[in-house]
Amino acid sequence: MEAWKTRARETVFEAAPFVSVSKETVELPDGRLIEDFYQVDLRSFALVVPVMENGEILMLRQYKHGPRRVSVTFPAGFIDPGEAPDVAARRELMEETGVEAQSLEPMGRFVDNGNQRGCEGHYFLAHGCRRVAEPNAGDLEDMQEEFWTAEDLDHAMMVGDLAVIHHVAAWGMARLRL
């Protein structure tokens, strides 16, 4: 199989740094042109599954405006321009929980939409986590910490308490490693 070739790209909407929508002209391997293939570019993020020294998994219960409800999540946030994903992961973990990890295991980098792109997520499993400071997210999020077992998280995933697909994916990847 061959990759498609982008022949032209025009930004049709931009609200920097959060979202950009572009219309591309792409050439398929057989030479056909698609003149209106839209791409959505959202900011990249880092997401951390924090496993405490005692084996419990640190979760955050918070309102998420995408699903329009309170759900459980892992610490996560945008990667700043020029920031390495693992540095962003450690920063977000510290800001949102006051926790630092003894080690950070990369679990992969993925886009969330197979055709329109969306955003790129960088997923990490944090081992040997311990509290070293008070949380200070400094943003609009109101969070409540909870400590869960792997079985609790399996159940939460099955009943929809993990309302954002990035967090479901992160738990699936982490579960294979634990």
Q: Rounded to an integer, what distance in angstroms lies between the CA atom of residue 85 and that of residue 122?
A: 6
- 3-class secondary-structure state, position 4: coil
| In contact, 175 and 125? CB cutoff 8 Å | no
pLDDT in tens, 6-40: 999 999 999 999 999 999 999 999 999 999 999 99
pLDDT in tens, 34-77: 999 999 999 999 999 999 999 999 999 999 999 999 999 999 99
Q: Rounded to an integer, what distance in angstroms lies between the CA atom of residue 59 and that of residue 71?
A: 10
Which domains does the chain carry? Answer: 5-42 (no CATH), 45-111+119-177 (3.90.79.10)
